[in-house]
Structure 1
Amino acid sequence: MSAILSADDLNDFINPGIACIKPVETLPQQQPEENANPYEVTTEDKVKAENAPPAQISLTDCLACSGCVTSAEAVLVSLQSHSEVLDTLDRYAELRIPVQDHVGATDGMNGIDEDGRIFVASVSPQTRASLAATYNVSEQQAGHMIAQLLSGPYGLRSGGKHGSGFTWVVDTNVMREACLVAAAEEVQQALKAPTEGQKKPILTSACPGWICYAEKTHPHILPHLSKLKSPQALTGTLLKSILAKKFGVPPEKVWHMAVMPCFDKKLEASRGELTSHSWHGREGEDAVRDTDCVITARELLMLAESRNISFPCLPRKPLAKQFRPPFPDPTVNAFLFGRRRTKALRDTSEAASSIGTSGGYLHHVLQTQQSLHPGSTITIHRGRNADVADYSVLSPSGKTIFKAARYYGFRNIQNLVRRLKPAKASRMPGANSRRPARKPGGGAGEGDYAYVEVMACPGGCTNGGGQIKVGDVGTLRQTGVENGSWEQEVLPAQREWLGVVDEAYFSASSEDEDVDGDADGDVNMDMDDAHGPSINGEARSDDVVDGIDRTYIHGILEHWSSITGVELEKLIYTTFRAVESDVGKESGGGNEMERVSALAVAQGGGW
């Protein structure tokens, strides 16, 4: 795993369901003393005091047992680092993008190096916020700097064996809008007619740390989980499915890297459910991950440092036009790279708090419910801490129409899953079953909620383990910059620093960028409005909720399905499964820990 990862950084640790057996296995065996008389009675004063050495437990030990993370995941995670990105760029030449005509048709990929790859990247808004706060730039400028590193002439393309870079850098906020619309409709459908096996309330599934915890410790939660893919997974599916179809290449020719705020996203990328088999599966074909590699904000800086690139010195302007080829489908091109798609967030701190820094799933679901009930209002009841709250949509008469909640951090999540555990039927005739748990503010239990937004990190995704810590900011600001170019300042504590990052995250909505121009001021594409052109030339609809045109999003999703020939359900939904722990069980195949370590080292990883 990346050298940047240390135990101190992992604030989203998942406690195993069974006590760790490693200390027991490492206890020294008691050896009989030489020349010992078996008939001698040993007295207390003759016994030598012997202190057993402390048990040594490494990350490999933990990952080798599926109490938390499986062996396969351990190897896959170890491969996802900035080093893997550089090795891949040096291993494969960047494929030339064919010339497109006015309707988006291409001349295919004939005559292109068969070993080449199309490199694409997706970047989360939380990562941009972390870098923006670190270098005292706007969130928009941080995004330009990332694009310059990944695709520009002063970035990765300036070195390496092949001079390869990323052809497209996508903002995951774009696909997040699709996720929000689909999430709100999933909730509404569950209220009308739940699908088979689905239980109320629906719990978000975009946080991989939360999903890992649920699958391996609380299988009774699985029927509650939303089947919707996360923005990272959905972006990977869209990029690989469309590029493979348009260019007539297999999905493995498209290499997708995601820049995310937490290390758990590496686990998500390793899931067997998030591969080409779910939407492109053909007999005999190997599964290709929708996201090949995930790196964090700090690993992105290590990526630049490994190529002797000063990240803070990169241009803070959009890429020049020659480094931004249009996507092979004009409609999807406008959707992904049209005029800035951020919607106007509310200026009040109360509104920002209700939206949160984890994508705004709960906020959009509430806004959708309010739009379905004109005249209704939303009330908020704070829980025992800032990471717990419940929300109600009230009719004009004060009747509760819809209830939802937010649970952030594992301490709060444990309370949620405990209260959602099915009641045990009593064996005593006439006795009541276990009493239902109460919600934080009293009243009905968690089962009365229709939707709950669950995230592993306290404070949300801007507090992910891969984000830049305040202790590193001073050093990073001086790296590669001449002395005196940064003003000396007293940096806040980590808790206050998260507030600075959150401010950068929410500032994205207030940044005014009418069009994406190149470094010389040329416009890359024409826009009809802030959300790109309409579908099939039709005017934009009035079906706008929370700043998102739902009709437009539906049109984009249907267009995606039609051009790939894949059912929409296979593209945007996934599945979850209970994972049995093998803690304390006989492996039957030798020392599992040694096997995993050997595999990781052989592949260039390891700890």
Structure 2
Amino acid sequence: MTFSGALTLTDLNDFITPSQACIKPVEQVKPKDLRKEPGAAASEILIDGSGTYYEVSQASGPGRRLEQAQISLNDCLACSGCITSAESVLISLQSHEEVLNFLEANSKEEEGKKKIPVISIAPQVLASLAASVAASSEASSSSSSPPVVTPLQILRRLRVFLKHTLGFSHIFDTTFARELALREHVKEFQERREKASQQSGKENRQPGDEEKGHFLPMLASACPGWICYAEKTHAEMMPFIANTKSPQQVMGTLVKEWMGKKWGKRADGIYHVCVMPCYDKKLEASRSDFYNELYATRDVDCVITTGELDAVLKEKGWDLSIAVDGEMNAEPELLPELIEHPGTSSGSYLQAVIDHLTKTSEMPLELSVKQIRNADYEEYELRQEDGQVVFKGAKCYGFRNLQNVVRKVGKESGVRVGIGAAGKLGGRVARKREKDEAPGQKLEYIEVMACPTGCVNGGGQLKAVGDGAWGDGGVKWGNREWTKRVEAMYWETGGNPDMSPELLREIEDAGLGLRTSYRAVESNVVGLAVKW
């Protein structure tokens, strides 16, 4: 399957594997005496039981083992042959084996040369593990209602395993980083809204003002699958995408800069691992924007998925269904645990904007939600008592809905869609639409995620497990009932809903950089060939 710049997503599966254009060829140079002569016997490719490829021909005698093509992160980031990364992409330096190898090597270093190993876990990962533990308990228990294991209990059991079995020094969840990201996100939205209000009164609006002003609608930037898709196929959407870092990268900034100073360590003296529900997070961590040139280190050194963490647990014989001493009274370190954010299980970005507008409004506002096509695309409106719409936002999940949203944004903003960076705001089109439409009629914010049903259904999450309703692990990916179960478990946090004002002020005073930038990626694919 190949993709063009004018990608049509009608019948496309939301989980996209690499296309033929994404396969990096390996040049096979034969010895001179084995090169084909006219009339020589044809060779064939055979695969042995281990999956190794051999070329066999009458001329060469015994089969010759062929080299395996490998795609590095740099290759993947430089290529536009696919839309998003997938499980089948070989990412040699972003794996649980790499983490285990580092931990073993680090433990043998001299005391002064050892790095501090830190791991941060996303709440969607905890929900997936909790759902898996619950399903397994149901399958093996004679009781009709075995006790529920909450994500908080999973986190604390993981803390014991990661610290005492693997050797991590510090274990966090990423909800505090998400709190910082949401606050910065709302701040950026307000900035854009004020600029949009100022620009709406300009009589001589010029093409390009949209890009300079970063106007509305603001599109969420926490999903790297969506960012990858936009950068490679819809560069005209770049001015609309938020510049706020995702919780993963905010956590990277916290660990390498703020915590590093508390521990008396430079950024290169810390090894930071994130556990995420999504394979695209590996690519996000590898962006050049998140590389510290001064200390030659990344904000997040390695990303592993829920499935990879589960593989390590199984390899070490650790059972998360078994309680650990003191798990209910364990004290968190430095950061509060599992802060609750109402809204969606994909980060609550839209809800954070709605809550801010509701709290700062001088008059009561009423929220209405309308499902447009399916549960993955909904529109939200805030209205005054007189019925006037003061805000319109949307939630858009899955690639099947993304293309429609891109078209809608282009139509409402006067941007030509699908033509790359040249698709800038046309002054005449924009003035006409502003004249015809009252404030509040156009979308101002969209929470965008590449996976259907959002992050709890990420490509790196665990598949359904157990017997009966959940099968034997061979359930089709994206099973809706299983996703609903993980979603329900996500809200059984049992975490801390409170925030520490003192801690927030301390971090705000630290002046950490919580924003980044995104840019168009020029296509380097010609037909089925990739320019490497």
Under a length normalisation based on structure 2, what TM-score does the superposition of the two structures give? 0.71
Match of 2:161 among 145, 149, 160: 149
Match of 1:502 among 487, 497, 500: 487
Rate the CA distance shift 1:375–1:257 in 2: closer, same or farther, 3 A: same
2:526 corresponds to 1:576: no
**Paired AA for residue 292 in structure 2:** S
Percent identical across equivalent pairs? 35
Alpha-carbon separation, structure 1, partners of 2:253 and 2:401: 32
* Contact 1:200-1:447 within 8 A present in 2 as well: no
Task: Find runs of 4+ consecutive structure 1 residues off by over 6 angstroms.
Answer: 21-26, 432-437, 443-447
Rate the CA distance shift 1:502–1:193 in 2: closer, same or farther, 3 A: same
Paired position in structure 1 for 2:327: 318
Paired position in structure 2 for 1:66: 80
Paired position in structure 2 for 1:531: 498
* Contact 1:144-1:316 within 8 A present in 2 as well: no
* Contact 2:221-2:242 within 8 A present in 1 as well: yes
Aligned-pair CA distance for 1:149: 1.6
Paired position in structure 2 for 1:420: 409
Rate the CA distance shift 1:497–1:219 in 2: closer, same or farther, 3 A: same
2:285 corresponds to 1:276: no
* Contact 2:18-2:82 within 8 A present in 1 as well: yes
Paired position in structure 2 for 1:459: 453
Aligned-pair CA distance for 1:192: 0.8
* Contact 1:377-1:394 within 8 A present in 2 as well: yes
Matches for 1:240-259 after TM superposition, within 5 Å: 240-259=256-275
SS at match of 2:470: coil
Rate the CA distance shift 1:269–1:392 in 2: closer, same or farther, 3 A: same
Alpha-carbon separation, structure 1, partners of 2:119 and 2:455: 19
Rate the CA distance shift 1:268–1:316 in 2: closer, same or farther, 3 A: farther
Aligned-pair CA distance for 1:213: 0.6
2:164 corresponds to 1:166: no
2:395 corresponds to 1:392: no
Paired position in structure 2 for 1:364: 352
Aligned-pair CA distance for 1:131: 0.6
* Contact 1:82-1:300 within 8 A present in 2 as well: yes
Paired position in structure 2 for 1:191: 193
Match of 1:228 among 244, 268, 271: 244
Which structure 1 segments of 5+ residues have no match?
Answer: 1-9, 36-56, 96-111, 157-164, 328-332, 346-354, 426-431, 438-442, 475-487, 515-529, 536-551, 562-566, 593-607
Aligned-pair CA distance for 1:250: 2.5
SS at match of 2:172: strand
Match of 1:450 among 430, 441, 444: 444
Which structure 2 segments of 5+ residues have no match?
Answer: 1-12, 28-35, 41-67, 135-148, 197-210, 418-427
Match of 1:202 among 195, 218, 228: 218
Match of 1:12 among 15, 35, 54: 15
Aligned-pair CA distance for 1:557: 3.2
* Contact 1:119-1:168 within 8 A present in 2 as well: yes
SS at match of 1:199: coil
Paired position in structure 1 for 2:302: 293
Alpha-carbon separation, structure 2, partners of 1:499 and 1:391: 22
Alpha-carbon separation, structure 2, partners of 1:123 and 1:21: 30
Rate the CA distance shift 1:11–1:556 in 2: closer, same or farther, 3 A: farther
SS at match of 1:457: coil
**Paired AA for residue 94 in structure 2:** Q
Greater displacement, 165-174 / 490-499: 490-499
Aligned length: 429
* Contact 1:393-1:402 within 8 A present in 2 as well: yes
Rate the CA distance shift 1:424–1:580 in 2: closer, same or farther, 3 A: closer
Alpha-carbon separation, structure 1, partners of 2:328 and 2:416: 60
Cα shift readout 1:87-124 (whole Å, capped 9, x = no counterpart): 000111299xxxxxxxxxxxxxxxx7233110111111
Alpha-carbon separation, structure 2, partners of 1:423 and 1:381: 25
SS at match of 1:114: helix
* Contact 2:390-2:440 within 8 A present in 1 as well: no
Matches for 1:128-143 after TM superposition, within 5 Å: 128-136=126-134, 137-143=149-155
Rate the CA distance shift 1:580–1:445 in 2: closer, same or farther, 3 A: farther
Alpha-carbon separation, structure 1, partners of 2:23 and 2:498: 54
* Contact 1:93-1:115 within 8 A present in 2 as well: no
SS at match of 2:212: coil
Greater displacement, 453-462 / 493-502: 493-502
Matches for 1:337-356 after TM superposition, within 5 Å: 337=336, 341-342=339-340, 345=342, 355-356=343-344
SS at match of 1:417: helix
**Paired AA for residue 16 in structure 2:** F
* Contact 1:141-1:317 within 8 A present in 2 as well: no
Rate the CA distance shift 1:396–1:213 in 2: closer, same or farther, 3 A: same
* Contact 1:203-1:451 within 8 A present in 2 as well: yes
Match of 2:469 among 490, 495, 512: 490
Aligned-pair CA distance for 1:140: 1.7
**Paired AA for residue 377 in structure 2:** V
Alpha-carbon separation, structure 2, partners of 1:133 and 1:459: 16
**Paired AA for residue 399 in structure 2:** F
Cα shift readout 1:323-353 (whole Å, capped 9, x = no counterpart): x7x86xxxxx2xx136x6336x5xxxxxxxx
Paired position in structure 2 for 1:350: none
2:113 corresponds to 1:115: yes
Alpha-carbon separation, structure 1, partners of 2:125 and 2:325: 16
* Contact 2:394-2:447 within 8 A present in 1 as well: yes
**Paired AA for residue 577 in structure 1:** R
SS at match of 2:378: strand
Greater displacement, 394-403 / 140-149: 140-149
* Contact 1:12-1:209 within 8 A present in 2 as well: no
Paired position in structure 1 for 2:366: 377
Instruction: Compute the RMSD of aligned alpha carbons.
Output: 4.0
**Paired AA for residue 372 in structure 1:** T
Cα shift readout 1:452-479 (whole Å, capped 9, x = no counterpart): 0000001010000111111xx12xxxxx
Under a length normalisation based on structure 1, what TM-score does the superposition of the two structures give? 0.63
Whose radius of gyration is greater, 1 or 2? 1
SS at match of 2:507: helix
Aligned-pair CA distance for 1:444: 9.2
* Contact 1:420-1:447 within 8 A present in 2 as well: no
Alpha-carbon separation, structure 2, partners of 1:385 and 1:445: 26
**Paired AA for residue 501 in structure 1:** V
Paired position in structure 1 for 2:44: none
Cα shift readout 1:42-89 (whole Å, capped 9, x = no counterpart): xxxxxxxxxxxxxxx988499484323799xx9993211110110000
Rate the CA distance shift 1:316–1:129 in 2: closer, same or farther, 3 A: farther
Aligned-pair CA distance for 1:144: 1.6
Rate the CA distance shift 1:246–1:419 in 2: closer, same or farther, 3 A: same
